């Protein structure tokens, strides 16, 4: 029986299976291995009297090459992301002990006063900071009349009679504006969370992601550790 590149004797099947398993094109991922097996099977089972257009095989090999390149790019991107997260953790770790300003809608009230601020787009004749505890009870802190712009505030539990605990924060204004709030606190620690995400622990705030940071304020006595 005459054989060539496009026909295979029945008694050579094991050898062919071995060659597919060690084919350089099939090395790497399960996807590329499957692609190569399908390509070899297509070559072996074509009609010898009416072979497929060689250009089709070249096109398929090109597709395989592109698939492998995309897989390698995806792996490289994932590796780079992990490296960048590690570098970010090291960089922020050097800031432990410094005061950071972060976006936050919750505050942890303890013996240390919490410092925060928000920005009004227009003047408000009656401005109130509303703190809601885990028990659902609201505590309102009147900030009076405020001009447009930055409005700082201090939450002193002793002066305001606030029980220690976690509170959700929101601002009520005469103009029905709901500005986002920021808190300034000491960076207590930096850690890598699940999936390698960087997690910051801020005094008076709790755990936040680096994307919440709006300012680095250096080491001062504005806020201290809980």
The helix/strand/coil state of 211 is helix
pLDDT at residue number 103: 95
pLDDT at residue number 174: 95
pLDDT at residue number 90: 67
Rounded Cα distance, 114 and 124, in Å: 23
pLDDT at residue number 195: 75
Contact criterion met (CB below 8 Å) for 214 and 182? yes
pLDDT at residue number 69: 76
Classify the phi-psi angles of 149: left when phi > 0, otherwise alpha if psi is within -120 to 50, otherwise beta: left
Structure-block tokens of residue 168: 């959700």
pLDDT at residue number 48: 62
Rounded Cα distance, 209 and 224, in Å: 20
Sequence-separated (6 or more) residues with CB below 8 Å from residue 153: 115, 116, 117, 118, 129, 141, 143
Structure-block tokens of residue 129: 């900071």
pLDDT at residue number 70: 78
Domain 96-216 has CATH 2.40.110.10: no
pLDDT at residue number 52: 60
The helix/strand/coil state of 13 is helix
Output the tens digit of pLDDT for each of the chain's 226 residues. Answer: 444 433 444 444 444 444 444 444 444 466 667 767 776 776 677 666 665 666 666 676 677 677 777 777 777 777 666 666 667 666 777 888 889 999 999 999 999 899 999 999 999 999 999 999 999 999 999 999 999 999 999 999 999 999 999 999 999 999 999 999 999 999 999 888 877 788 899 999 999 988 899 998 887 654 444 4
pLDDT at residue number 5: 38
Rounded Cα distance, 162 and 149, in Å: 27
pLDDT at residue number 72: 77
Sequence spans of domains, the chain? 10-92, 96-216
């Amino acid at each position: 029986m005459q054989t060539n590149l496009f026909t295979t004797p029945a008694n050579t099947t094991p050898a062919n299976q071995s060659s597919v398993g060690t084919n350089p094109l099939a090395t790497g991922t399960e996807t590329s291995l499957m692609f190569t097996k399908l390509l070899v099977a297509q070559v072996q089972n074509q009609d010898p009297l009416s072979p497929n257009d060689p250009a089709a095989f070249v096109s398929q090999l090109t597709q395989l090459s592109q698939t492998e390149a995309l897989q390698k790019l995806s792996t490289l991107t994932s590796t780079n992301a992990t490296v960048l997260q590690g570098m970010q953790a090291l960089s922020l770790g050097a800031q432990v002990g410094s005061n950071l300003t972060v976006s936050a809608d919750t505050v942890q009230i303890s013996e240390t006063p919490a410092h925060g601020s928000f920005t009004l787009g227009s003047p408000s004749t009656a401005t109130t900071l509303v703190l809601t505890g885990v028990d659902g009870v609201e505590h309102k802190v009147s900030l009076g009349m405020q001009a447009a712009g930055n409005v700082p505030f201090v939450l002193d539990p002793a002066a305001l009679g606030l029980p220690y605990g976690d509170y959700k924060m929101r601002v009520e204004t005469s103009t029905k504006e709901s500005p986002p709030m920021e808190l300034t606190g000491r960076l207590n620690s930096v850690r890598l969370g699940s999936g390698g995400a960087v997690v910051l622990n801020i005094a008076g705030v709790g755990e936040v992601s680096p994307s919440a940071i709006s300012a680095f304020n250096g080491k001062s006595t504005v806020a201290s550790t809980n």
